[in-house]
Structure 1
């Protein structure tokens, strides 16, 4: 007499090969289908929401290039190699950064990277004013805008670098990228006591392009961008975008509303999570909330 749970010759109910075939019999054929599998697994409580978001972040990183996530040169905080400690220390304290590109005459000539911690041995020295910044510099990693983010993360880990200077095709400095920028794409925003709430929701990428959380209050969005979206129509910028589409958009879809272009960077079946916002060239923003 046979039954449905008949064992294979080696005594197990199913052979390893049978399990593998079963597991991949309906394997996703694209990244979009893989995301759908992750959403379904989350709906069935097979994985946590945080796990799904992290895996989606890994998928997003695989498509990105450095130019998509770099801090533009206009937002770089640098130190000139000719400055004394007394001259650049206020800049270091105000920015609260731990690493600073050191320039020679202009931003296109990067001499190296100064780590704030390398100044600690001189903090209580009477000779602090005589410190030669050039003697404390670490080598700068130089990468092109077109470099993919995924191999850059590998380079960071292998070379033990935390920051890279990004250059364009002519060798001019376009911006910089840190390992934290990449990790935030995967695990979400890494907040510290120096982060401003608004800055965590609205982030300048380059030029007229910004990354905005879909749950950003529409009032905050309007004040930051000097825009006039109807605050009675939706509470968040994501709501305005959803209303504009008229359906739940997929990652990569874009729409232009009142000359603002909104591109969906990440989403699931129920909601939009991150947006890439491109503002009109002639549009001036406040860049802050009113008091």
Structure 2
């Protein structure tokens, strides 16, 4: 080395710094790459992505070859820098070389390349994977020895490096991914994806039509009243019951009702023949399960019952799908919107409106772990059934009862305290 010109030693040192930067950036790029985008590129047969994926299957070997290369070039660079410094400044050059090389390696071979790789992992990892694959084959005996010793130490603490680390996401982590992808996914699609993730958390009682609003046919009514009710109904399916809603005996579909009405001598027997057997759903069933059961059993409407078998309401396939895609159609002329904006910025809301719907539309946070409707929330908070319009606070929300009918809050005025 003493006969080698300083210019050549300087050139070698420069190349070693570049190699150190390559190994440092490769390590960060390979380990920082988006695993899900990588899997997508592998499915599309991207050769560089396939090479990266192959190396990442055994991260112990990948890290082994990178660190062997990095440590080798850093140690060699340190030796050459010391030789250059000693020839220039004598014994004092050792301290100078140590300080200077530390700063050079830290800035040009560690921090800068690793930062670049963290920001653009694909641009670094894809080309580097081809070089690392060649080095892994060339240095495999040395990598095997190093990994063997290292893996032996890991096994002592119960870690097996050969185990594949399958990257999986739970629903909350997937929700975060969807929210973070707001710039890449249209807002409507993003809302649908979030709604699908919420299906497991929402039970059928959160979206059902409560029993007091169920429009059904009482088989005990006269045939004329039944025919008149069918003709005036806006619903495609109606439960048929015997005396009270708890005694549901069938479901009448609109197309079957049309056949029944064309009968020149319609009878209750013909009506019962036109009905289909009711499909019952426990009130605590999640919407995810309801949707799957509807699909499996080819059903489009179910009767929701509690643990005692009493009917609590009905739920249709349309109600479940609206939780995902939103309302299919606006209210008719005979119907009012459940949530109406008033001139003073407050909201006039029907008491039967589900709290989840209020939170969803207004981006509020009314409690949902108790009653499911606004009326239920008011009564639970007051702990009595109001007989006259009064006001109350629920958290930061001011609720003013506007109208009471049959011991039920018909309408209320709400606003949030800012």
TM-score grouping bracket, smaller chain normalisation: 0.5 to 0.7
Equivalent residue in structure 2 for 1:217, among 338, 341, 346:
341
Partner of 1:35: 175
Mapped to 2, the partners of 1:11 and 1:64 lie a distance apart of: 40
What do the CA deviations read for 1:172-223 (whole angstroms, capped 9, x no partner)?
1111111111000001111167476733xx2xxxxxxxxx5xxx41459654
Partner of 2:378: 279
For these two proteins, the number of residue pairs brought into alignment is 232
What TM-score comes out, normalization by structure 2 length?
0.46
Partner of 1:86: 224
What do the CA deviations read for 1:47-99 (whole angstroms, capped 9, x no partner)?
11111011011011111111222111101111012335531233334440011
Mapped to 2, the partners of 1:47 and 1:16 lie a distance apart of: 29
Q: Is the 2:249–2:278 Cα contact (8 Å) retained in structure 1?
A: yes
Partner of 1:15: 50
Q: Is the 2:304–2:311 Cα contact (8 Å) retained in structure 1?
A: yes
Superposed CA RMSD in Å reads: 4.2
What TM-score comes out, normalization by structure 1 length?
0.64
What do the CA deviations read for 1:214-266 (whole angstroms, capped 9, x no partner)?
xx41459654559xxxxxxxxxx98xx88xxxxxx7xxxx4xxxxxxx2489x
Mapped to 2, the partners of 1:80 and 1:153 lie a distance apart of: 28
Mapped to 2, the partners of 1:91 and 1:192 lie a distance apart of: 23
Structure number with larger C-alpha Rg: 2
Mapped to 1, the partners of 2:46 and 2:181 lie a distance apart of: 31
Q: Is the 1:165–1:175 Cα contact (8 Å) retained in structure 2?
A: yes
Q: Tell me, what secondary structure is at the counterpart of 1:108?
A: coil
Partner of 1:159: 297
C-alpha change, 1:276 and 1:75, in structure 2 (3 Å) is closer
Q: How does 1:1-291 map onto structure 2 within 5 Å?
A: 12-15=47-50, 18=53, 31=172, 33-42=173-182, 44=183, 46-128=184-266, 132-191=270-329, 194=332, 198-199=336-337, 202=338, 216-219=340-343, 222-224=347-349, 254=365, 262-263=366-367, 277=374, 278-280=377-379, 281-282=385-386, 283=401, 284=404, 285-287=409-411
Q: Is the 2:230–2:257 Cα contact (8 Å) retained in structure 1?
A: no
Structure with a larger share of its residues in strand? 1
Could you say which structure has the greater relative contact order, defined with CA pairs below 8 angstroms and 6 or more residues apart? 1
Q: Tell me, what secondary structure is at the counterpart of 1:177?
A: strand
After TM superposition, the structure 1 stretch with the greater mean CA deviation from structure 2, 277-286 or 51-60, is 277-286
Q: Tell me, what secondary structure is at the counterpart of 1:113?
A: strand
Mapped to 1, the partners of 2:233 and 2:46 lie a distance apart of: 65
Q: Tell me, what secondary structure is at the counterpart of 1:107?
A: coil
Q: Tell me, what secondary structure is at the counterpart of 1:39?
A: helix
Q: Tell me, what secondary structure is at the counterpart of 2:285?
A: coil
Deviation at 1:25? 9.8
Q: Is the 1:70–1:177 Cα contact (8 Å) retained in structure 2?
A: yes
Mapped to 1, the partners of 2:166 and 2:300 lie a distance apart of: 41
Structure with a larger share of its residues in helix? 2
C-alpha change, 1:87 and 1:29, in structure 2 (3 Å) is closer
- Consecutive unaligned residues of structure 2, counting only runs of 5 or more, are 1-14, 30-41, 58-120, 123-164, 352-357, 380-384, 387-400, 414-418
- Consecutive unaligned residues of structure 1, counting only runs of 5 or more, are 203-211, 227-236, 243-248, 255-261, 266-274
